[in-house]
Amino acid sequence: MPFCIITGDITKVTADAIVNAANSSLLGGGGVDGAIHRAAGSELLEECRTLGGCATGQAKLTKGYRLPCKYVIHTVGPIYSGGGYGEKEQLYSCYINSLELAKQNGCESIAFPLISAGAYGYPKDKALAVAIEAFESFLNDNDMSITLVIFSKSAFFFEPKLEKEIGKYIQKNTPKPQKSFPKFPMFGAAEKTAGKARQSSSFRDICDEECCEPMLGASAPCGAAPAAGLNEFLMSRDESFSQQLLRLIDEKGLTDVQTYRKANIDRKLFSKIRSDVNYKPKKQTALAFAIALELDLDQTEDLLAKAGYRLSDSLKFDLIVKYFIINKQYDIFVINQALFAFDQSLIGC
């Protein structure tokens, strides 16, 4: 889970480090800053008094105390003054300096609030764009689980035009409800017996001629073929999910590292998939690899089928992912923002 967005209270998130959107004194304040100090206890303030404050864009580290984390990383975001005074560069520095400080202290996971998007007045859409840019840049060269914690959906911004287009696509492609038909009287016992006989006869005709003998190469009746024979048949004619994934990576000329980072997949999880030929991933994981490999819709369906899944127009999650694949938009960070905006599970997480 290299990058994920959630709603909730950052003081309750379990991570190696959480980031405090602090003021320059580091002595506590309102919003996230005040909430973190209250949850951590008075010891946090005592340690902060020894740090001598913090400049805008910089970051300093303390212990987590009563919080469910080892460390609190305090960073001071810029006050937004129209965008012409270096605010973007300062905000970007907040994220990068916090991530580097976490890395230096051996952190494998970190949680951020949306810095400067509250009382400091940074527009939410611009603040989110800077955060995503910093996370992408860092994750290109580093392995760390990054969680962006949004206090409520009202604090999250997703590009309205794209959201509207996706909404229209969902509405257009969602199957219409089937009309209900009147129930017919139940068949009597004689009709049931005759129906079963016809069904059995029809199935036997199809099974004997098209299914069992040609496929298994044996005259055993349907259902009586040894499991080993079926497994041998399947293994000789098909790739597993893992095998197809690794073949596609080679065909695309990508390295393993490039692939799992583009897929927003943890390195340890990718290692499991690579080492276990029969590994069955979650649907979100399989789709993340399809996005990383920039597969078209048919190729995506084929890869999903190897893991036992398919895309359905009855599921909003599937329709959103299909929208991006059809439009050849393969930025997993943007796709996950869209999924979050529509209250769906994220891919790769």
User: Which residues are known catalytic residues?
Assistant: 33
By three-state DSSP, how is residue 335 classified? Answer: helix
Q: Measure the CA–CA gap between 146 and 116, rounded to whole angstroms.
A: 18
Please tell me the chain's helix, strand, coil percentages from 3-state DSSP, rounded to the nearest 5. 50, 10, 40
Which element (helix H / strand E) includes 231? helix 227-237
Q: How far, in Å, CA of 173 to CA of 179, rounded?
A: 18
Q: Tell which residue, 143, 144, 128, has the closest CA to residue 92.
A: 128
C-alpha torsion sign, points 150, 152, 153, 156: negative
Query: Which DSSP string do the residues of 44-110 spell out, in sequence order?
Result: HHHHHTTTT---BT-EEEEE-TTSSSSEEEEEEPPPPSSS-SSHHHHHHHHHHHHHHHHHHTT-SEE
Q: Which residues of 103-132 are buried (b: 16+ CB within 10 A; e: fewer)?
A: eeeebebbbbbbbbbbebebebebbbbbbb
Bridge partners, 148 (sequence order) = 5, 112
End-to-end CA distance of the chain: 4
The conformation of residue 145, written as its DSSP 8-state character, comes to E
Sheet with 145-150: strands ordered across: 3-7, 145-150, 109-112, 17-22, 71-76, 59-63
Instruction: Provide CB contacts within 8 A for 266, sequence distance 6+.
Output: 1, 2, 143, 145, 260
